[in-house]
Amino acid sequence: MTDVFPRTLLDALAADSATPAFEHGGRTVSRGELLDLVSRYAGGLLAAGLDQPAEVAVATGVTPEGFAVQTAAHALGHCVVAVKPGLTVAEAAHVVGGADVVVTDATTQPEVLAAARKVLPLGTLAAEPVPLAPRGRPDDLATVVYTSGSTGLPKGVEFTYAAMTARWAWRTDGWTDDTRRLAGRYRRFLLFGTLASAVMQEHLGLCLLGGGTAVIPDAVPIFPQVLEQLRITAVLLTVPRLNSILEVLREREADLSSLRSVLVAGSPLPPHQLVAAYDLIGDAVHHGYGQTETGMLCLLTAEEAAAYPEAVASVGRPWTGVELEIRDEDGKPVPAGETGEIWVRTANACRGYRGEDAGEVLRDGWVRTRDLGRLDERGYVYLTGRARDVIIINAILHYAGPIESALAAHPDVDEAYVVGAPDERTGEAAHAFVVAAPGREPDLEALRLAVREELGESAVPATITVVDSVPVAPSGKPDKAALLATLRT
């Protein structure tokens, strides 16, 4: 493998040095300037004694410099640990405690600084530029991306240089016509949140390699205003953030004419909300499905939904380089139309979890997503729940997903979330939280009837609570634990 990551990116920057790579506040960083930064940070890392493969944690804000130092560390063949903001003391020690160095800037948390064995301030790291010849070997560990884990500590998802090199967005020689069309929409990509997000990095690569510019807002973005003000053409949104934008658009007009791609992912999106997004935003809306462990797996475009209306309930068809099967409990594929667990195979999948056995997730080159779904005859994928998101009521197993879908399908409901909790009578009980549809007042008995008719009496939630909005976790996804906690206060 001669073009090991990040070779393709470095070549693209060199080939088009004058085009802006980043806009950050009032300044523009060209591709040539970014490449120079990468070279100087690589020199700084070498001067700091990091001339052999090491573990480099990067705990910076969303800046061109933060991205450049990540790229420099990768060019030298180091393992980059992506550090997200908002870590507790215990989480910081877990994430960066084993790193050889932690690269920091003014935004780095005190908890991270306290847990670091050695700190390299980004502002003092630039040195004489060095030639950039990527040193990573295919089987070497390239990056660790931390997500929330079932143990309460973040879970480290490990990727090799081979996996990073094979990522669909970063390997232009493997781009299909669909990928090129998507990249063409990323002229001005809104980059925000954290550089430690695997999905944000994936689409940042699509932007830079497709000739676009990553636009970083000055402050925490306010939607949809930031899209108007910065003339954004492409943005990634979680479902809660999309819902907040739709609420604004129902109240006032916004100039979103620049938008070409609004990719919504991260949690289930009810069909009526997707239709509302098409109506209020337009055909820029895309519905995606993926995981940190695998990258993007499926994509649905507005054009597909218009041509095949049934697909509005799906997450689209498998994306470039993705093999997808629906399997039963024994791991055997099931026919189209039947529900089972989604298994996928892709060259850019993770190699496992740091310090944990991944045997339940990785099987013979396949990744068990632990999501439930089905395929239709045209190859569209429909999500029906999480294999682990189960509630056992009177010894009967129920998945939260179908209950949420039954509630969300009622015209009084805009959003629905279901979470299980211990119950003295039934072992566990389902508790539902719904956000009313605009101008509607949910009738709780009608909602119970909707679930009863769809799934049976045993699936009816023990409680249904109408909430004004749904709390959002640091990941940007709905925070079900926070919802459940409201019942206990």
Interval 159-179: pLDDT, tens? 999 999 999 999 999 999 999
Kindly state which CATH superfamily the domain 7-165 is placed in.
ANL, N-terminal domain (3.40.50.12780)
Instruction: Output the six-digit token pair for 479.
Output: 């925070």
Phi, then psi, of 338 in degrees rounded to 5: -90, 145
Amino acid identity of residue 385, one-letter, is G
Reply yes or no on whether the pLDDT at 55 is more than 90: yes
The span from the CA of 58 to the CA of 46, in Å, is 16
Average pLDDT over residues 143-150: 80
Helix (H, G, I), strand (E, B) or coil at 104: strand
How many residues appear in the chain? 489
Helix (H, G, I), strand (E, B) or coil at 450: helix
DSSP classification of residue 26: T
pLDDT digits (tens, 9 = 90+) for 329-361: 999 999 999 999 999 999 999 999 999 888 889
Q: Quick one: pLDDT at residue 136?
A: 97
User: 462-472 in b/e burial notation, b at 16+ Cβ within 10 A?
Assistant: bebeeeeebeb
What H or E segment, with its residue span, contains residue 19? none
What pTM, to 2 d.p., does this model score? Answer: 0.87
Question: Environment class of residue 445 by beta-carbon count within 10 Å: exposed (0-12), middle (13-18) or buried (19+)?
Answer: exposed
| 146-155, 229-238, 352-361, 377-386: the lowest-pLDDT one | 146-155
Q: Quick one: pLDDT at residue 2?
A: 57
The span from the CA of 122 to the CA of 13, in Å, is 22
Residue range 221-386 in CATH 3.40.50.12780: yes
Q: Quick one: pLDDT at residue 1?
A: 43
Q: How confident is the model at residue 484 (pLDDT cuts 50, 70, 90)?
A: confident
pLDDT digits (tens, 9 = 90+) for 367-411: 999 899 999 999 999 998 876 787 878 777 788 888 999 999 999
Q: In Å, what is the CA distance from 213 to each residue of 177, 183, 186, 223, 443?
A: 21, 11, 8, 20, 48
Fold identical between 221-386 and 390-487? Answer: no
DSSP classification of residue 459: G
Average pLDDT over residues 220-238: 97
Q: Quick one: pLDDT at residue 150?
A: 45
Reply yes or no on whether the pLDDT at 152 is more than 70: no
Query: Which has the closest alpha carbon to 240: 479, 436, 482, 484?
Result: 479
Going from N- to C-terminal start, the domains of the chain cover 7-165, 221-386, 390-487
Q: Domain 390-487, what fold?
A: GMP Synthetase; Chain A, domain 3 (3.30.300)
User: 341-353 in b/e burial notation, b at 16+ Cβ within 10 A?
Assistant: bbbbbbbbbbbbb
Instruction: Output the six-digit token pair for 318.
Output: 């498998």
Query: Which has the closest alpha carbon to 114: 83, 94, 93, 95?
Result: 93
Residues 290, 264, 418, CA angle at the centre, nearest 5°? 80
The span from the CA of 87 to the CA of 110, in Å, is 10
